[in-house]
Structure 1
Amino acid sequence: MNTKAPTRVSRLYEVMDLMLDSVGDPLALSGLAASASYSSYHFDRIFRELTGFSAVEYQRKRRLRRAAHQLRHEPDVPIGRIAQDCGFPSNAAFAKAFKQQFAMSAKTWREGGWRAYMDQQVGRESDVSFFVAEPSNVEAILAPYCAPEPGSIAARIEVRQLPAVALRYQRFFGQSGAALSIACNSFICEREKSGEVLPGAPWYGVFDEDPGFTGEREYCYDFGFDAAHGGEEAGDASLGLRVLPAGTYACLDFCHEWPRFRSMYEDWLERQAQAVWRFDSARPHIQRVERGPDGQWRGHLALPIKKR
């Protein structure tokens, strides 16, 4: 049994997860600080060192990205309801904050402005799905996105009920594309070398927001392993512990390739499945990967969905 006390970083991870789970609720800085065993001053300073943002600014940006997600994927929900659900005290406050963040109104965003933002302002690397290619093989990450043949991704999608997974993870901030891939690969090598992760165990990449709407500086990405697959040295107190929620996911299996969530959105969710399914913004995107007998990566992308 792991008896190591949580580190400063892992305590902040827990607070950040609380902020995500409570994105629509008012959270006082003093309460967040107390939950991490800090004074308000030290908590905000340490939070800024870790993420590059104050706790208040970080939560505001997460609320806005949650709203942007819902505006895209839940067109029948009134804008005012989305503003309320994402923790804004009034429609006017939401409208002002949204325009400051995305340079357009929520109405314009919902009518298709999100695509221009994703393509022009966020940039190519941010819509790359999460993978762990070795540093010597990053061609897939550096390649520009190419839309698949219509229906080709949709034909491979399977709707599955996935179980919950207790994840030991490292949280990466402000990295995307090749830099993130290399960092994840280094994490794998370190953990396998130390014996903390058993050979052949699966690895998980987790992103709680739409990667197409999140710029590199705001990227927050979790990468880790199922705690049940840890070796004798498992229990590093510097790692975070979170539960990936069970539920319904649209899954895209892959082998010897690196598909992207964007293709799942555009070729399946928004064309083939929209009469039945919608995106579930309360659960994360998940990538599960493992090495096959031939040494190549394989796994699946899992997009959280719910019935309309």
Structure 2
Amino acid sequence: MPHSSRPVPTSRASRLYEVMDLMLDSLGDPLALKTLAASASYSSFHFGRIFRELTGFSAVEYQRKRRLRRAAHLLRHEPDVAVFRIAQDCGFPSNAAFAKAFKQQFAMSAKAWREGGWRTFMDQQVGRESDVSFFVAEPDNLDVILAPYCPPEPGSIAARIAVRALPPITLRYHRFFGQSGAALSLACNDVICEAERRGGAAPGTPWYGVFDEDPGFTGASEYCYDFGAAAAPAGDPRLGVRILPAGNYACLDFQREWPRFRSMYEDWLDQQAAWRLDSTRPHIEMVERCDAGQWRGWLALPVKKR
């Protein structure tokens, strides 16, 4: 939701969503504000003002933070890639500029982060929010979300994970800013309930939650989460449209439980010799309400061959 007390009109918001997605797809390229503003049919001045109303940040600061979080992903999951190469791929003009920006964002050097500092940052700076994957929270059933993270029995999650080639999905979505944990879960549940009340979604409709960055590295105030359905009505000005990319995903099916991406990272991904995280594609979560009213679905972690 917008950070400003004055909501951004929905038609403006959906145009800005497209610009933000373009920014995410071109993290390694120079940021041309005039070009971005023109693509959303705004002057540079109005683009900057509306972008800040929506996200709480200037476009330059927003892109800098996303570049740094992409770098943080790569440092953790691709240990054989040199730091200077990661800096270049994430759009930093020099090693010195990257080193300064990374330390300002994460309070440690890139080297320290790669050597395990990411875990300290995740646990101390972000805390419990880093443990939370998406849940469709009913208002009277928040205990599962508020409970602290408990690591699974070693191998128990890994045994349930299968790597699948998922097709592309055209998603019509609501975008939420600065929400995570229980607040985000309740907001997404409200979206589902409203759609069902209006007849825009039947029980059993698949709903998708999408985030492009590890919430453990992001924190609640900067968290960006897309939630919607492929079956949502076309032309609704409240909704953005994005194509979830096809590719290999490590998938964990569930029913009447709420597993967390953190358990997939720690029990499967960190032990993998064949697969590693693909930071260029999003995490995807699918949920649907079955005939008995219970929730089921899957978590999908984007992966690529080592």
1:254 aligns with 2:258: no
8 A contact 2:123–2:130 mirrored in 1? no
Segments of structure 1 that go 5 or more residues without pairing to the other structure are 1-5
Counterpart CA distance in 1 for 2:278 and 2:198 is 37
> Matches of 1:134 and 1:299 in 2, distance apart?
16
User: In the TM superposition, what is the alpha-carbon distance from 1:200 to its structure 2 partner?
Assistant: 1.7
The alignment status of 1:207 with 2:219, answered yes or no, reads no
Is the contact between residue 289 and residue 295 of structure 2 (CA under 8 Å) also seen in structure 1?
Answer: yes
Match of 2:102 in 1: 98
Find the aligned partners of 1:192 and 1:282 in 2 and give their Cα distance. 33
- Does the 8 Å CA contact 1:172/1:222 hold for their aligned counterparts? yes
Q: Which residue of 1 aligns with 2:300?
A: 302
CA contact (8 A) 1:67 1:86 kept: yes
Query: Equivalents in 1 of 2:115, 2:130: separation in Å?
Result: 22
Whole-Å separation in 2 of the counterparts to 1:139 and 1:234: 36
Matched, 1:158 2:156: no
Cα distance between partner residues in 1 of 2:80 and 2:159: 27
- In 2, are the aligned partners of 1:197 and 1:234 still within 8 Å (CA)? no
* Corresponding residue number in structure 2 for 1:279: 277
| In structure 1, C-alpha distance between the alignment counterparts of 2:105 and 2:245, rounded to whole Å | 29
1:123 alignment partner, SS class: helix
Q: Which residue of 1 aligns with 2:124?
A: 120
Residues 172 and 229 of structure 2 are in contact (CA less than 8 Å); yes or no, is this contact kept in structure 1?
A: yes
1:34-53 Cα deviation digits (max 9, x unpaired): 11111111111101111111
Cα distance in 1 between the residues matched to 2:203 and 2:236: 18
- SS of aligned partner of 1:149: coil
1:163 and 1:284 map into 2 onto residues whose CA distance is 14
Aligned-partner Cα distance in 1 for 2:178–2:299: 22
- Per-residue deviation, 1:140: 1.2
Return the offset for 1:212.
Answer: 1.0
Equivalent of residue 292 in structure 1, options 280, 287, 290: 290
Query: Does structure 1 conserve the Cα–Cα contact (< 8 Å) formed by 2:203 and 2:288?
Result: no
2 CA distance for matches of 1:196 and 1:56?
37
- The answer to whether the 8 A contact 2:209-2:226 is kept is yes
Identity within the alignment, %: 79
Residue 7 of structure 1: how far off its partner (Å): 1.2
1:225-273 superposed Cα distances (whole Å, 9 cap, x missing partner): 01xx34xx543122000000011000000111111101101100111x2
SS of aligned partner of 1:305: strand
Q: Which runs of 5+ in 2 are unaligned?
A: 1-9
8 Å contact kept, 1:196–1:234: no
- Give the conservation status (yes or no) of the 8 Å contact 1:255–1:298: yes
Residue 159 of structure 1 and its aligned partner are, at CA, apart by 0.6
Quote how far apart the aligned CAs of 1:211 are: 1.4
* Whole-angstrom distance in 2 between the partners of 1:170 and 1:126: 22
Q: In structure 1, the residue corresponding to 2:268 is in which secondary structure?
A: helix
1:78 aligns with 2:82: yes
Counterparts of 1:56 and 1:198 in 2: how far apart (Å)?
A: 41
User: How many matched pairs?
Assistant: 297
Instruction: Output the TM-score relative to the length of structure 2.
Output: 0.95
Aligned partner of 1:212: which letter?
A: G
> Quick check: 27-36 or 175-184, which moved more?
27-36
Does residue 263 of structure 1 match 2:263?
yes
